[in-house]
Chain A
Amino acid sequence: MNNMPRNRFVQWLSVAALAAGLALWIAYLIQGDSDARAWRAVLINFLYFTPLAAAMAVWPGIIRLSRGGWAKSIETPVLSFAGFAVPSLLALAALGLASSSWVPWWNPEVPHQGWWLYPPFVFGRDFAALLAFWVTALFYLKRPNPTRLVLTVLGYTLTFSLIGFDLAKALDPHFYSTLFGGYFFVSGLYAGMAGWAFLSAWFLRAEADRLHDLGRLTLAFSILTTYMMFSHILPIWYENLPEEVIFFIPRIHGDWLAVTIILAVMVYLGPLPSLLTIRAKRSRVLLGSITSVILVGLWIERLWLVQPHFEESPRIGLPELSMAAAFWGALYLSRMLAAGRLGAWRNEEEGVIGE
């Protein structure tokens, strides 16, 4: 029950997705009309998959921190998402090395923040933060103790606040918001919890009580994420300051308005009524379907964070989808490889449930 089935078909599918996705993306990069769009596709998927994997690895720790032992039976498979460390770091490094072809804030003019937004510095500090987070997480997984747990959770919040500020908010250096980092890491936790609930419903064959708990946390975090977005919208709409409304203006006109409404339904407001009933939270089919909608919606939300500044209407095409496939393949494969290593570590520890 606490094991993800080692499905050979899915394994080969993930290898194929990774290979084909990378190949198609490279083809687009070479032949397509926009280098920048190709790299932005990498950015969108990096911003989606990395906090998702990190959150899934961190969630069992958060539950333990609040003295809840109830997740012990289903936590091991999600912990192995820490294996995504390597692909995420590679992706970030690639984004950094290619920064001159896609970074919008250093060309053509240096923004008023100067050295803070100097691309090597930006990617350097983000890489260092992400590396520090993954190392802390892996230290915790190797030998769990409360201090490492606290450091890991703290590391998650600080690292993903920084990445949110640097790689999503800074796309327009005139836009500012003190809560943006908070929104980013909370939406990452939302994705992670929805992902965990998704896996528990479809693959882990978790019992109804556990599904209920995961469903409740998914609902709570959807409300929290919506609250964070509302906390942006309300003061920005109210005072109508130019540097703040530039975030929302492109997103409420033209084709992007439709995307905004779809997001409101899939990610922000929709999960509340659908996950309200006890039946929805306890049923594998219902919880599984609702969380899959949420997961897809959150991918669109990352697209919505990145693209409107550059594209007049939403473009979900070859670069975005091929990169999504590649990232998904990398996610599955890295998790699989990590699960074996994690099992070995866990068997060395006393009193911890083995793989």
Chain B
Amino acid sequence: MKTQANILGYAETDDTVFAAMEPPKPRFFLILWICAMGCAALFSIWIYQVLVGMGVAGIDHPVGWGVYICNFVFWVGIAHSGTLISAILHLVRSNWRNAVSRSAEAMTVFAVMTAGLFPLMHLGRVWVLYYILPYPSQRQLWLNFISPLVWDVFAVSTYFTVSSIFFYVGMIPDLASIRDRYEVTLGPDDPRTKIYRILAMGWTGALSQWRFYSRGYLYFAAMATPLVVSVHSVVSWDFAVGILPGWHSTIFPPYFVAGAIHSGLAMVLTLSIPMRKILKLEKIITSFHLESLAKTMLVTTIIVAYAYVLEPLVAWYTGIIYEQQFFWWRATGWMAPVFWSLAVLNVLAPLLFFFRKIRRSIKALFIISILVNIGMWLERYFIVVGSTSHDFLPHNWGKYSISLVEVGITLGSFTFFFFIFLLFTRLLPTAPTSELKELLAEAHGDGSNVLPPVDRKGRISEARHRVLGIFSSPDKLMAGLKRFKGSGFERIEAYSPVKIGEMGRIMGMPHGPVRYWSLTGALLGCTGGFALAIGTAGVNDLIVGAKGPLSILPYCVIAFEGTVLLGAIFTLLGLIFHARLGRLNAIPEVYDRRFSRDRFGLLVACDEDEYQSVIDEMNELQAEEVRTFE
């Protein structure tokens, strides 16, 4: 089903999105300054806590983990739905994702950065934090790869790396658009133009580049998908491999992943509804997109509800006194208000999305999304604090009261996130213009089943006589490609602001070399992960909890993260190599700046005597302009 959402043309899409990058009004700077103050407060409070001790946070025996871990899980969860929207929906060829995917990816990267603060904050001795990194030391001390916290280190850092790569690579065509725009409006020597020129890595929108780019992007999406599931499964195993009632439960991994996507989608709604109003992006992020987000939340609501119902039932089923008394306490003890509010906030509120009227009301979407955000934060609190405060032996039961330090740090983390996000909204394109324009190209129907030929080894740049035709729509470009290829011209290049050719057709064609890079990286990462864990276990030779020194099962997690990490890095290298990105003076003289905006170019290399016939053919194909190069 085609989306009815994209009603802007090529140029208008660019203008609408890039208008947000113009110098902002004073109120933006006010809000930015407030967030900066919040970050300063965050770091000052943190330093105070480091100097005085963890006791200033409200945690005390028996509750070893409190609000910091809640925040960690909360922010990692939010990060996941960004990857869901950009990567997973790309794989299933959903068409509504395009408008929100950029802000969702940004949300992912910034949420992971925010989440990464909290494992640091909750450490008792953060100044020896480096003990948790695998580095060769004189005493040959290595990590305990059986510990879920080590899996966390690998999973979250892999997630940060891969989602940053995914975010950046997705932006390259749009950065090229901005570069070209600034070259015109600000001039080539303006520092802003220079910055975006560097960031755009010499992207010209040549079809030879698009081909490798779309393959690479597909592989990133394919790797990001299991990564998302694995990262939040690893976070859930922080609890599920613990012994405490309420933590030790096999359903945690899918339950946490679904919950993460649930809260993340709610955060996308919470962020994009005000953003589209303030940055005037209503024509790009339409109510159709918001409705689709709401419908996806229905699926996660059902999964979360399934887990909510199942856990107490199975606890009763076990007949184990510890489980039964624990679940009874959670529903009736001092945690009870949290317990019952979870059902309302996380399940009943988003179930209202079944009703179309609610899905279509922007106010309702915003309110319910905030309710879900609050509810999902409370759920993490419920899980973390509930189990630690009320475990096996009654004399160990305790309470937990949040301290001002924790409140300050939590609020500070939100300002940290918003600070980076606000900078993003002004410095980088908040919607993926090239992907949005791609929907336009599909709507026009490019009418060709032929994937254009690849200009191998840059032969066309060496040709003496070249003719460039500039077209205003992709089907004319494709018609021209077919015509010239059919006539026997071998050195042809095309320039386009959008990826042409449906993914399905790309799939059916020769697949190119990028996949060998991905496979190599993946294999290296897998064996590397196992080698690291097995090798270091052999060196330290320690028994922990009747396990070890060698335990292959936990090492599978490390190997998996290594697979994705190196797979992604090698794919990036392959993409850069084959698409010839990142070279100095990469922009050829034939390049017209409108190729990143709304024009399509067809470059044909010919002999001197063929000049005129080529020019004539170009005019026949309704080229707006024809240029020749010697």
Is A5 interfacial (CB 8 A cutoff)?
Answer: no
Is A68 interfacial (CB 8 A cutoff)?
Answer: yes
Interface residues of B in 98-128 (CB under 8 A from A): none
Stretch of B244-252, B418-426, B571-579, B603-611 contacting A (4+ beta carbons < 8 Å)? B244-252
Give which listed residue, A157, A178, A209, A240, contacts B314 with CB less than 8 A. Answer: A178
Inter-chain contacts of B252 with A (CB < 8 A): 231, 235
Inter-chain contacts of B319 with A (CB < 8 A): 112-113
Inter-chain contacts of A182 with B (CB < 8 A): 251, 254
Known: A178-B310, A278-B507. A68 touches B92 (CB 8 A): yes
The 8 A CB mask of A277-288 against B (1 = contact, 0 = none) is 010000000000
Q: How far is the CB of A329 from chain B (nearest CB, A)?
A: 35
Is B318 interfacial (CB 8 A cutoff)?
Answer: yes
**A177 near B317: Cβ-Cβ < 8 Å:** no
Inter-chain contacts of A176 with B (CB < 8 A): 314, 317-318
**B508 near A209: Cβ-Cβ < 8 Å:** yes
Stretch of B153-161, B184-192, B235-243, B592-600 contacting A (4+ beta carbons < 8 Å)? B235-243
Stretch of A78-86, A198-206, A222-230, A331-339 contacting B (4+ beta carbons < 8 Å)? A222-230
Interface residues of A in 86-143 (CB under 8 A from B): 112-113, 116
Inter-chain contacts of B549 with A (CB < 8 A): none
Q: How far is the CB of A133 from chain B (nearest CB, A)?
A: 16
Inter-chain contacts of A180 with B (CB < 8 A): 250
**A179 near B556: Cβ-Cβ < 8 Å:** no
Cα(A223)–Cα(B93), bound, Å: 20
Cα(A237)–Cα(B253), bound, Å: 16
**A235 near B250: Cβ-Cβ < 8 Å:** yes
**A227 near B237: Cβ-Cβ < 8 Å:** no
Smallest CB gap from A230: residue in B: B556
Give which listed residue, A154, A157, A223, A230, contacts B226 with CB less than 8 A. Answer: A223
The 8 A CB mask of A249-278 against B (1 = contact, 0 = none) is 000000000000000000000000000001
Is A238 interfacial (CB 8 A cutoff)?
Answer: yes
Cα(A354)–Cα(B94), bound, Å: 27
Smallest CB gap from B296: residue in A: A66
**B554 near A234: Cβ-Cβ < 8 Å:** yes
Inter-chain contacts of B554 with A (CB < 8 A): 234
**B250 near A178: Cβ-Cβ < 8 Å:** yes
Known: A231-B250, A240-B546. A212 touches B318 (CB 8 A): no
Cα(A292)–Cα(B318), bound, Å: 38
Scoring A236, A238, A240 by chain B CB atoms within 10 A of each residue's CB, the highest score goes to A238
**A66 near B553: Cβ-Cβ < 8 Å:** no
Is A181 interfacial (CB 8 A cutoff)?
Answer: yes
Is B199 interfacial (CB 8 A cutoff)?
Answer: no
Smallest CB gap from A216: residue in B: B91
**B1 near A67: Cβ-Cβ < 8 Å:** yes
Inter-chain contacts of B556 with A (CB < 8 A): 230
Is B233 interfacial (CB 8 A cutoff)?
Answer: yes
Cα(A151)–Cα(B17), bound, Å: 40
Cα(A113)–Cα(B318), bound, Å: 8
Is B26 interfacial (CB 8 A cutoff)?
Answer: no
**A243 near B320: Cβ-Cβ < 8 Å:** yes
Scoring A113, A227, A231, A278 by chain B CB atoms within 10 A of each residue's CB, the highest score goes to A231
**B250 near A177: Cβ-Cβ < 8 Å:** yes
Cα(A228)–Cα(B243), bound, Å: 20
Smallest CB gap from B253: residue in A: A231
Scoring A209, A235, A240 by chain B CB atoms within 10 A of each residue's CB, the highest score goes to A235
**A237 near B250: Cβ-Cβ < 8 Å:** no
On chain A, the number of residues with a Cβ less than 8 Å from chain B's Cβ atoms is: 37
Interface residues of A in 180-211 (CB under 8 A from B): 180-182, 208-209
Is A351 interfacial (CB 8 A cutoff)?
Answer: no
**A235 near B241: Cβ-Cβ < 8 Å:** yes
Inter-chain contacts of B241 with A (CB < 8 A): 234-235, 238-239
**B251 near A239: Cβ-Cβ < 8 Å:** no
Is B511 interfacial (CB 8 A cutoff)?
Answer: yes
Known: A66-B92, A234-B554, A237-B553. A116 touches B1 (CB 8 A): no
**A66 near B249: Cβ-Cβ < 8 Å:** no
Is A317 interfacial (CB 8 A cutoff)?
Answer: no
Cα(A177)–Cα(B229), bound, Å: 20
**B248 near A239: Cβ-Cβ < 8 Å:** yes
Q: How far is the CB of A259 from chain B (nearest CB, A)?
A: 19
Q: How far is the CB of B189 from chain A (nearest CB, A)?
A: 47
Cα(A154)–Cα(B319), bound, Å: 29
**A178 near B249: Cβ-Cβ < 8 Å:** yes
**A179 near B251: Cβ-Cβ < 8 Å:** yes
Give which listed residue, B92, B93, B310, B511, contacts A181 with CB less than 8 A. Answer: B310
Q: How far is the CB of A161 from chain B (nearest CB, A)?
A: 8
Give which listed residue, A212, A232, A278, contacts B250 with CB less than 8 A. Answer: A232
Is B136 interfacial (CB 8 A cutoff)?
Answer: no
Give which listed residue, A67, A69, A113, A157, contacts B317 with CB less than 8 A. Answer: A113
The 8 A CB mask of B197-229 against A (1 = contact, 0 = none) is 000000000000000000000000000001001
Inter-chain contacts of A177 with B (CB < 8 A): 250-251, 314
Smallest CB gap from A69: residue in B: B1
Smallest CB gap from A157: residue in B: B306
Cα(A199)–Cα(B253), bound, Å: 33
Interface residues of B in 253-284 (CB under 8 A from A): 253-254
Scoring B248, B307, B511 by chain A CB atoms within 10 A of each residue's CB, the highest score goes to B248
**A234 near B508: Cβ-Cβ < 8 Å:** no
Smallest CB gap from B292: residue in A: A67
Q: How far is the CB of A163 from chain B (nearest CB, A)?
A: 14
Is A10 interfacial (CB 8 A cutoff)?
Answer: no
Is B442 interfacial (CB 8 A cutoff)?
Answer: no
**B317 near A116: Cβ-Cβ < 8 Å:** yes
Inter-chain contacts of B251 with A (CB < 8 A): 177-179, 182, 231
Is B311 interfacial (CB 8 A cutoff)?
Answer: yes
Scoring A154, A157, A227, A278 by chain B CB atoms within 10 A of each residue's CB, the highest score goes to A227
Is B302 interfacial (CB 8 A cutoff)?
Answer: yes
Is B504 interfacial (CB 8 A cutoff)?
Answer: yes
Cα(A240)–Cα(B242), bound, Å: 11
Cα(A240)–Cα(B507), bound, Å: 46
**B553 near A233: Cβ-Cβ < 8 Å:** yes
Smallest CB gap from A158: residue in B: B306
Cα(A153)–Cα(B545), bound, Å: 43
**B94 near A67: Cβ-Cβ < 8 Å:** yes
**B93 near A68: Cβ-Cβ < 8 Å:** yes
The 8 A CB mask of B589-625 against A (1 = contact, 0 = none) is 0000000000000000000000000000000000000
Q: How far is the CB of A159 from chain B (nearest CB, A)?
A: 13
Inter-chain contacts of B226 with A (CB < 8 A): 223
Smallest CB gap from B551: residue in A: A237
Q: How far is the CB of A118 from chain B (nearest CB, A)?
A: 14
Cα(A227)–Cα(B237), bound, Å: 13
Cα(A256)–Cα(B249), bound, Å: 26
**B553 near A234: Cβ-Cβ < 8 Å:** yes
Cα(A161)–Cα(B243), bound, Å: 25
Give which listed residue, B229, B240, B254, B547, contacts A235 with CB less than 8 A. Answer: B240
Cα(A212)–Cα(B511), bound, Å: 15
**B250 near A179: Cβ-Cβ < 8 Å:** yes
Q: How far is the CB of B50 from chain A (nearest CB, A)?
A: 32
A to B CB contacts below 8 Å, 19 in the list: A66-B92, A67-B1, A67-B94, A113-B317, A113-B319, A154-B302, A176-B317, A176-B318, A177-B314, A178-B250, A179-B251, A227-B229, A228-B254, A231-B251, A234-B554, A235-B252, A239-B242, A239-B243, A278-B507
Beyond the given A178-B249, A182-B251, A231-B253, could you list 17 further A-B residue pairs with CB under 8 A, ordered by the A residue number?
A113-B319, A176-B317, A177-B251, A178-B307, A209-B504, A209-B508, A212-B507, A227-B229, A227-B253, A231-B251, A231-B254, A234-B237, A235-B240, A235-B252, A238-B241, A243-B320, A278-B511
A-to-B contact residues, CB < 8 Å: 66-69, 112-113, 116, 154, 157, 161, 176-182, 208-209, 212, 223, 227-228, 230-241, 243, 278
Task: Please give me the 6 A-B residue pairs with the lowest Cβ-Cβ distance, nearest first.
Answer: A178-B251, A179-B250, A112-B319, A238-B241, A179-B251, A177-B250
B-to-A contact residues, CB < 8 Å: 1, 92-94, 226, 229, 233, 237, 240-243, 248-254, 302, 306-307, 310-311, 314, 317-320, 504, 507-508, 511, 546-547, 553-554, 556
